[in-house]
Amino acid sequence: MPRKLARQTTQTSSSSGLSLQNVVPPSLADASQPLPRLIVFDLDYTLWPFWVDTHVTPPLKPNAQHTAAADRFGEEYAFYADVPSILQALPQLPATPATADENDATTHYSSAGGGGGGVKLGVASRTCAPALARELLKMLHLTPPLLPDDGEQQQQQKTPPRRRAVDVFDAGLEIYPTSKIKHFEALQKRTGVRFEDMLFFDDEARNRDTETLGVTMWLVRDGVTWDEVEKGVVEWRRRRGYKAN
């Protein structure tokens, strides 16, 4: 039976910038604990609560805040509530440095436009409407979280500029009907990041086949939340042999 659109869990137009320390779980903000170098997200029922190739009927029109977009029939589509802050905060967290045997991969990654110190983000989706998915990622904008040293007065005086959701996925967008294995092979080739340094969030158990590559997959049932991100990172650390402090 097709899933129903879960409107009650989506981002609202009142979303605003929050400080990093207010949104990021302590275990993820702990600089002594490692983080994946690349975190990859599925789209449907992972970042947003619908199938973009089934529920959405173009053309799309964003609202004034670019926090949602309406389709031909006036139905509004947006991210799950935690997703905007997740997509903005993760790249500001330091990823695990490359090990000595990854020098070639790191060089490749830098030449591909990555290689920075923060966690990299990517998308792996087998939707049959890739153009529509990309269009929606361009229409939905994110409000950056405020940096820890932003004072209260500065927060009141300056509203952080929004950015398109599509622009945070610096590792690339693999959006087309195929095996998720092929998506990850493309991401690995582009970034040079080892599969073992990747964490994948998806709502379908069948996509655990990506773990044959060395990827850690965390299954989400009701969309990505900060709690799910934390659980996924904990599992990634466990598989890599890291122990919590």
CA neighbor of 227 nearest in space, from 38, 96, 80, 94: 80
Question: Phi, psi at residue 164, to the nearest 5°?
Answer: -70, 140
Our CA angle for 229, 230, 236, nearest 5°, is: 90
CATH number for position 23: 3.40.50.1000
Query: Of the residues 44, 82, 197, 202, which is catalytic?
Result: 44
Going by pLDDT thresholds of 50, 70 and 90, the confidence category of residue 222 is very high
Looking at residue 18, its pLDDT comes to: 61
167 is catalytic: no
42 is catalytic: yes
The arithmetic mean of pLDDT across residues 47-75, rounded, is 98
3-class secondary structure, 42: coil
Question: What does the alpha-carbon distance between residue 38 and residue 27 come to, in Å, rounded to a whole number?
Answer: 17
Q: What is the pLDDT of residues 173-195, one digit of tens each?
A: 999 999 999 999 999 999 999 99
Give, in order, the Cα–Cα distances in Å from 37 to each of 12, 113, 117, 119, 195.
Answer: 30, 14, 9, 5, 10
Number of domains in the chain: 1
On whether residue 62 sits in a domain, the answer given is no
Q: Is the pLDDT of residue 197 over 60?
A: yes
On whether residue 3 sits in a domain, the answer given is no
Rounded to two decimals, what is the model's pTM? 0.85
Average pLDDT, the chain: 86
On whether residue 108 sits in a domain, the answer given is yes
CA torsion angle for 99, 102, 107, 108 (degrees, to 10)?
-140
Q: What is the pLDDT of residues 67-78, one digit of tens each?
A: 999 999 999 999
On whether residue 74 sits in a domain, the answer given is no
Q: What is the pLDDT of residues 104-156, one digit of tens each?
A: 444 333 333 344 579 999 999 999 999 999 999 999 999 876 655 555 555 55
Query: Of the residues 42, 170, 197, 202, which is catalytic?
Result: 42
User: Using the 8-state DSSP alphabet, how is residue 131 labeled?
Assistant: H
pLDDT > 70 fraction of the chain, expressed in percent and rounded:
77
Question: What does the alpha-carbon distance between residue 124 and residue 184 come to, in Å, rounded to a whole number?
Answer: 7
